[in-house]
Structure 1
Amino acid sequence: MLIKTTFIRKVSLLLCVALGITSQIHAQETSYQTPPIEIEELVKAPITPAVTFSRSGDFMLLLERAGYGSIEDLAQPELRIGGIRINPATNGQSRTSSFNNIKFKKIKDSEAQSLSGLPENPKLGNITVSQDEKHLAFTHNTGEGISLWVADLSTLEAKELASNIVNQVYGRSIQWLPDNKILVKAVNPNRGDEPKAPLAPKGPTIQESTGDAAPSRTYQDLLTNPHDEDLLAYYMDSQLMIFDLDGGKTEIGEAGMIKSMSPSPDGEYIMVETIQKPFSYLVPASRFPYKVDILDRDGNKVKTLAEIPLDEVRPTGFDATVTGPRSINWRADKPATLYWAEAQDGGDPRKDLEERDIIFMQDAPFDGEKTKLGSTSFRFAGINWSDDKFAILNERWFASRKEKRSLINPSKPGEKGKVIIERSYDDIYNDPGSPLFVDNQYGRSVIHRKGDKIFMTSEGGSPEGSMPYLSTFNVKDGKEDIIWRSEAPYYERVTKVLNTDGTEFITIRESTDEQPNYWVRNTRKRIAPIQITDFEHPYESLKGINRELVNYERNDGLNLSATIYTPEGYDAERDGPLPVLMWAYPREYKSAATAAQVRGSKHEFTRLNWGSPLYWVTQGYAVMDRTEMPIVGEGDEEPNDFFVDQLVANAEAAIDYIVERGIGDRDRIAVGGHSYGAFMTANLLSHSDLFAAGIARSGAYNRTLTPFGFQYEQRTYWEAPDVYNTMSPFMNAHKVKTPILLIHGEADNNSGTFPIQSERYYNALKGHGATTRLVFLPHESHGYASMESILHTLHEQHEWLEKWVKNKNK
């Protein structure tokens, strides 16, 4: 078996031992380290269960998961091909999370019950409830394959239906049919043995361009040779099967590299997307050619709906798309009707057309002509269905950050819809929210409405922070009526409406010191809310910390916000200024007004994750989290034309605020961030002397390595070379005089953040005498997953902050 890795390094070169590294080479560590015990205990705190509600709202499932896995889990062999990471031992994707227990709880009962008969050492996924809500289907990763399981929700007994049969390399693998049978994408039982790597290649690997421009993002884990192609075809080789609840199975249709499967709402047809050749070495499998077939319930092909060519050549810009049918789906309100979009502009956003996308539909048995349902002037962004006379057509345009929602009458195809909402999707103060859904007779989600009124939930953005609400939106006059709104001192939002008039619903409620829990509210009976879960506070040591959502101004008058955390009992006047860790992630806006809006809530629960900066509140630091770093370019101006100046102005305003409040010591402030936040950190250290130190995790530092756009930059390097060079910390490495810690996952597959970005940036810094340290984490991707890596990362950050910030000049 050929196992591909992005980088091969000796362990001795991965982890540095001595702090304060400059241009000298020190001895190397050979083992993982841990942070202070207060931080370690927080990392190992129990994880709150995930919750999913039944369609009826009668019961809920509590999905429990263990803590972070081990480095041994990540070190298992994997194939990195076609933009996919495959565990060849299981025929599934590697690096996936799983649940280790499922509990069933009726809403009105106080206790939850565990399922019986679960496998030993469960690694459960794909958890889905049957349409009649009597059974549960899920998968179990055995380490040698992925098995199919079911549970009877009346007895809470689970059993295995088929061992090591599921193919989970790509896309969804199990779905319920209306008659309580399960459609499964299984490993093709006739695929044979894994292709063997040749001892010597048959010849060179050749790519050729025939003159058509084919810009693409910087993808990773792509195919590189014919053997990679053989391996991808082998592991994607699938056979559709239908299982009954007793384990009986029927093979349907032809085997192939099945990309997706989707039964019609009535279960009589199945849409199957199958990847075709030729493959590409330039783009991932998601953009390979594929065929869309419609099968009947017995697996007979009814029609080939579309044959989509290789998507290698696409116009530039985030509003660009493919030609031909895309976003092919079943109507939720019909037994078997397909709809899809087709670009009329060749997928090129630079062309100006009144009808940019046309939406077509076709009814079973799919032997007639397609029907034009409607069109969009922006890019098609989906349809929310209700019935044959009521649906909402959504469209978006990235370049202007605009969205439109139109009311359409599907029974009158081609009739122009009525625009009911048109707005900037960055504007959270005037966001009416998103529709709520209920299940129809087919078990599909349709709009929850009462006549012309749609039930909506909104984040409720305001200058005081988010105050979520439940409302109705009248599509005739655009009037919004708020039914219920979250109130201080809680941050509470609706998760499910339980009745037709929206007076009874389930919320998830939290506060700064109260763990999120679920409640039932009834506004008609005006009774006190009833708590239906009782999850314990997982972070005892953080219960008393101070949290404050603050506002301040940039030098151009733009309003900014951040959340400041300080240790329990801290008083600025009494205790004096603290060392500060400022954590941020920059974001681009096309409007100063929307950039200035306050985001988040001061009443949110303090939730930790592996990458959080909040651990250092336990170590005597003030933490300035979610520090707004807006970059604004209005009208024809592009935000990145002003990136450096606005970034520095944002940082100056934040520092001035926390220092003037007496909370922060101006000489002891660190800045940090992950991914684009790391890019931000490196730029701040290149273009200012505001900070005592920086922490940059898994960033990109040389934008010439992502020449066809990055983040929200649509222009190519050749269209805006000055922007790319000015924004690249690598090009400005000679300016860095502040100590900077670089951390990167050795197996990072995020577009643009190749590990070589940190490797070459470190060498540039070292070559100019900067104080820097580079830590590569074996087997880790863009987000770190193993307990050993996470604890070591926190150790590195802590030691860096202690040396260069808290104890600066000592």
Structure 2
Amino acid sequence: MGSVSHAQENLEYQKPVKEILDLVDVPLAPSIRIDQKGEHMIFLYRDGYKTITELSEKEMRLAGLRINPKTNISSRTNYYNNIKLKKIDGEPIQVTGLPSNPRISNISWSPNQTKAAFTNTAGNGVELWVLDIKNNKATKITEATLNANIGSPFRWFKDDSSLLVKFLPNKKKDLINVDEAIPSGPTISISEGTKAQNRTYQDLLKNPNDEYNFEQLATSEIFKVNLDGTKKSWSKTGMIRNYSFSPDGNYVMVTEIKKPFSYLVPYYRFPQETTIYKSTGDLFKTINKVPIDEVRPKGFMATRTGKRSISWRTDKPSTLIWAEALDKGDPNIEVEYRDEVFQQDAPFDGTPKSILKTINRYSGIQWSSDKNIAFAYDYWWNTRNTKTYAFNPNESSKKPQIIHDRNYQDRYNDPGNFVTARNEFGRSVVEINKGNIYLMGDGYTKEGQFPFVDELSIKDKTTKRIYTSSYTDKVENIYFATNIEKGEFLVGIESPSEYPNYYIRNINAKDQVKQITNFANPFAALQGVHKEVIKYKRDDGLELSGTLYLPIGYDKTKKEKMPMILWAYPEEFKDKKSASQSTSNPNEFTYPWWGSMVYWVTRGYVVLDDASFPIVGEGDEEPNDSFRKQLVANAKAAIDAVDNLGYIDRDRVAVGGHSYGAFMTANLLSHSNLFAAGIARSGAYNRTLTPFGFQSEERSYWEAPEVYNTMSPFMHADKMKTPLLLIHGKADNNSGTYPLQSERYFNALKGLGATARLIMLPKESHGYRAKESILHLLWEQDQWLEKYVKNKKNKLPEGTN
């Protein structure tokens, strides 16, 4: 590591030490899809990582999308490479007929769940395949000509015998090679006095060549495709954003992107038109036209005017619903109700009927098995409030009842999610059983986590707890009901050394649980690691917590002083009560994913993971008004807590984080002397480059310049006296965290004589994907920690930072 002082270092991809390497390259347990009845399971297998070769395939970044122009699917798609089927009581069986070297995605059950369709990305494009569950066989239905660039590339017809599929148009034009194109003129953007305060989106269109390429890649033609592979043109060619069948299958709602395009916002804020077709493909009616959505009022809760969130009522054959803002989309206008929800039955030519008004911004409806009751949700970011309404969508004269009205950051009082079932249309609805509905909750409490099922009476709205998980050494996650009348639920059970597996739990029969998967623990080396959730207090009395891991083989009785890694991510709150709640559970399986610091328990480090870093602003004070002060207080409280246990040498503590956690790390190193070194991955360090808000800060730079400047580590680079490892993906697509952020910050640190190292990972986005990148990342982190933390030679003089 002596070469860190050089200006540049030509280095090939490296691998970490064996202790870490052995935990990285392990086979993954499959993901599963289980049918609603809990009878059949689809096992989906994949590699843990992509390769740098895969990430190096051609990629076009247009209007917020990243597209492989050769295959016409997102260049960042996760693929599965094998499928097996399993009956609940049987063993997994290999599916026959799969393509060679499969790259599987877009898995979707058919309406009656006897089949599943999926796409396979071949070398030259995307194919459609169908899996027959009964026969355990996959069959290719189309050639590699699907357009999978935007949204789902196919939808099932209700009869399970055919699909609506998006294909590349026959007359698709060749793309312009932007690198070789000769400009025909300058790129011109115009501001005519209307405020357009948008976030710092990435991958936007930049010029007419981008516009042309986007149109070619977004344009599709929809065909009806039968299971025997025969197909028939179904609708006109267009830039199809999404499409969906009515529950009865008689209509299809199609939303199409229109021109003019924008250089300020992504494709989903381009003009759009929503049209209803008959299932035969005959054009029926245009129901909505939306102009370009570049300009919105100020505030996170701002929205556009007109119809939005158009969808089908899942409990009726063919009824549309949508919301419209009653405050002109402006959260700064005081009104009694923010949004109004309307419905309109087929044939969609009558006067829309108002069915609900929401106090906060509308965020969705769940329909039920009783057409006379539904449940709507709203939320308001500024107050962190959310409400749940029970209402009769057929009688708007009846006043809705607010059955939940709470702070959505208050996890201890989260009522949970409604239990759902499939109705006669094959759609998910809230299940009503003998006048009761049911809710499944995570069950976080001050004493620990105890997931639950509640029974809520529709008649009097009283709640009775009918099941509480009683595990004290494991975690039980409740996923969904396979049979609510029998009380049967699909659950997952895990412990620190017991890999998560699936079970059928009967909540009506004590201790009746049946295991249906048997996945082995691939991380056996971590089985003996000591893990606990510690709780401690900040200097202002705020309760905090973190998950503490001790090094492998550590003897707690000897209390040897070890180096420590503190890993965290700040979160903003509007009240101290919610900020003090802990959702960490020491009984969760210890899973060392690519970004984890848990690997370093094999290297003699104490790790405090997911340490609480609340930033609280109550009343008129915003959280970021005292951001730096609260950061340092959180860090000091965490170090003090572990030091008081006798486990660490507080002069050898590292701090790190990813994204906003990287921003946190740079601030802590600049404004405290608590740490020996830091690791900052994919962060933003100059908030003036995100002038119209960032994270949970909705004030602009010009409204709160002191906040922006005070919070920006770049503005305080001269205060950096602690070694900092900066890592960033060269293809970062996250809003605000341009690679430029790390490059400019590093240049400032270098110019001011700080000890720093900048690693730019080729082809990587905000999260890292290629095995080569991840192994090198782990090597870099290990080298940095060994030199500047474990084997730290010099202590900083008192009073320096």
Superposed pair shares fold, TM > 0.5: yes
CA distance in 2: counterparts of 1:122 and 1:594, whole angstroms: 46
- 1:759 pairs with 2:743: yes
Partner of 1:637: helix, strand, or coil?
coil
- 1:203 pairs with 2:147: no
One-letter amino acid of the structure 2 residue matched with residue 454 of structure 1: I
Partner of 1:171: helix, strand, or coil?
coil
One-letter amino acid of the structure 1 residue matched with residue 491 of structure 2: T
Report the equivalent of 1:14: none
CA contact (8 A) 1:506 1:521 kept: yes
CA distance in 1: counterparts of 2:617 and 2:680, whole angstroms: 26
One-letter amino acid of the structure 1 residue matched with residue 186 of structure 2: P
User: 1:667 offset after TM fit, Å?
Assistant: 0.4
Report the equivalent of 1:189: 170
Partner of 1:581: helix, strand, or coil?
strand
CA contact (8 A) 1:465 1:602 kept: no
CA distance in 2: counterparts of 1:414 and 1:642, whole angstroms: 47
CA contact (8 A) 1:698 1:744 kept: yes
Report the equivalent of 1:607: 591
Report the equivalent of 2:121: 141
CA distance in 2: counterparts of 1:319 and 1:188, whole angstroms: 38
- 1:304 pairs with 2:278: no
The structure 1 residue matched to 2:101, chosen from 118, 121, 145, is 121
Report the equivalent of 1:74: 55
CA distance in 2: counterparts of 1:384 and 1:48, whole angstroms: 32
Partner of 1:322: helix, strand, or coil?
coil
CA contact (8 A) 2:559 2:647 kept: no
Report the equivalent of 1:635: 619
The structure 2 residue matched to 1:494, chosen from 463, 478, 481, is 478
User: 1:744 offset after TM fit, Å?
Assistant: 0.3
User: 1:537 offset after TM fit, Å?
Assistant: 0.1
CA distance in 1: counterparts of 2:444 and 2:639, whole angstroms: 25
CA contact (8 A) 1:74 1:780 kept: yes
Partner of 2:499: helix, strand, or coil?
coil
CA distance in 2: counterparts of 1:467 and 1:143, whole angstroms: 48
CA contact (8 A) 2:552 2:604 kept: no
Report the equivalent of 1:394: 377
One-letter amino acid of the structure 1 residue matched with residue 764 of structure 2: E
For residues 512-523 of structure 1, the aligned pairs below 5 Å read 512-523=496-507
Cα deviations across residues 371-397 of structure 1 (Å, max 9, x unaligned)? 111111100010010132010010000
Report the equivalent of 2:405: 422
User: 1:719 offset after TM fit, Å?
Assistant: 0.7
- 1:224 pairs with 2:206: yes
For residues 430-449 of structure 1, the aligned pairs below 5 Å read 430-449=413-432
The structure-2 alpha-carbon separation of the partners of 1:199 and 1:559, relative to structure 1 and needing over 3 Å to count, comes to: closer
Cα deviations across residues 673-727 of structure 1 (Å, max 9, x unaligned)? 0000000000001110100000000000000000000000011111111001000
User: 1:527 offset after TM fit, Å?
Assistant: 5.5
User: 1:165 offset after TM fit, Å?
Assistant: 2.0
User: 1:577 offset after TM fit, Å?
Assistant: 1.5
> Which runs of 5 or more residues in structure 1 are unaligned?
1-16
One-letter amino acid of the structure 1 residue matched with residue 148 of structure 2: Q
One-letter amino acid of the structure 2 residue matched with residue 488 of structure 1: T
For residues 338-737 of structure 1, the aligned pairs below 5 Å read 338-386=320-368, 387-413=370-396, 415-486=398-469, 487-501=471-485, 503-526=487-510, 528-737=512-721
The structure 1 residue matched to 2:136, chosen from 152, 156, 166, is 156
One-letter amino acid of the structure 2 residue matched with residue 65 of structure 1: R
User: 1:502 offset after TM fit, Å?
Assistant: 5.6
**RMSD (Å) for aligned C-alpha atoms:** 1.4
Report the equivalent of 2:70: 89
TM-score relative to the length of structure 1: 0.96
Report the equivalent of 1:316: 298
User: 1:199 offset after TM fit, Å?
Assistant: 4.2
The structure-2 alpha-carbon separation of the partners of 1:18 and 1:144, relative to structure 1 and needing over 3 Å to count, comes to: farther
Q: Tell me how many residue pairs correspond in the alignment.
A: 790
- 1:805 pairs with 2:789: yes
The structure-2 alpha-carbon separation of the partners of 1:18 and 1:167, relative to structure 1 and needing over 3 Å to count, comes to: farther
CA contact (8 A) 1:219 1:751 kept: yes
The structure-2 alpha-carbon separation of the partners of 1:238 and 1:738, relative to structure 1 and needing over 3 Å to count, comes to: same
Cα deviations across residues 5-30 of structure 1 (Å, max 9, x unaligned)? xxxxxxxxxxxx75543xx525x223
CA distance in 2: counterparts of 1:57 and 1:195, whole angstroms: 50
User: 1:74 offset after TM fit, Å?
Assistant: 0.5
TM-score relative to the length of structure 2: 0.97
Partner of 2:721: helix, strand, or coil?
coil
One-letter amino acid of the structure 1 residue matched with residue 132 of structure 2: D
- 1:48 pairs with 2:29: yes
Partner of 1:56: helix, strand, or coil?
coil
The structure-2 alpha-carbon separation of the partners of 1:502 and 1:732, relative to structure 1 and needing over 3 Å to count, comes to: farther
One-letter amino acid of the structure 2 residue matched with residue 741 of structure 1: L
Partner of 1:450: helix, strand, or coil?
coil
Q: Choose 726-735 or 406-415, whichever is displaced more.
A: 406-415
CA distance in 1: counterparts of 2:177 and 2:398, whole angstroms: 57
CA distance in 1: counterparts of 2:539 and 2:445, whole angstroms: 22
User: 1:38 offset after TM fit, Å?
Assistant: 1.5
CA distance in 1: counterparts of 2:305 and 2:77, whole angstroms: 32
The structure-2 alpha-carbon separation of the partners of 1:419 and 1:19, relative to structure 1 and needing over 3 Å to count, comes to: farther
CA contact (8 A) 2:679 2:726 kept: yes
CA distance in 1: counterparts of 2:404 and 2:435, whole angstroms: 14
Partner of 1:30: helix, strand, or coil?
coil
> Which runs of 5 or more residues in structure 2 are unaligned?
795-801
CA distance in 1: counterparts of 2:444 and 2:37, whole angstroms: 30
User: 1:185 offset after TM fit, Å?
Assistant: 1.6
User: 1:195 offset after TM fit, Å?
Assistant: 4.3
One-letter amino acid of the structure 1 residue matched with residue 21 of structure 2: E
Q: Choose 446-455 or 225-234, whichever is displaced more.
A: 446-455
Q: Choose 274-283 or 292-301, whichever is displaced more.
A: 292-301
CA distance in 2: counterparts of 1:196 and 1:627, whole angstroms: 47
CA distance in 1: counterparts of 2:486 and 2:739, whole angstroms: 50
CA contact (8 A) 1:573 1:662 kept: no
One-letter amino acid of the structure 2 residue matched with residue 255 of structure 1: T
CA distance in 1: counterparts of 2:638 and 2:459, whole angstroms: 45
User: 1:498 offset after TM fit, Å?
Assistant: 2.1
CA contact (8 A) 2:36 2:482 kept: no
CA distance in 2: counterparts of 1:525 and 1:726, whole angstroms: 58
CA distance in 1: counterparts of 2:784 and 2:648, whole angstroms: 18
Partner of 1:40: helix, strand, or coil?
helix
CA contact (8 A) 2:366 2:375 kept: yes
User: 1:295 offset after TM fit, Å?
Assistant: 0.5
Partner of 2:376: helix, strand, or coil?
strand
Cα deviations across residues 157-193 of structure 1 (Å, max 9, x unaligned)? 1110001121111111122121112121221223243
CA contact (8 A) 2:562 2:604 kept: yes
User: 1:603 offset after TM fit, Å?
Assistant: 0.8
CA contact (8 A) 2:665 2:678 kept: yes
Higher relative contact order (CA 8 A, sep 6+): 1
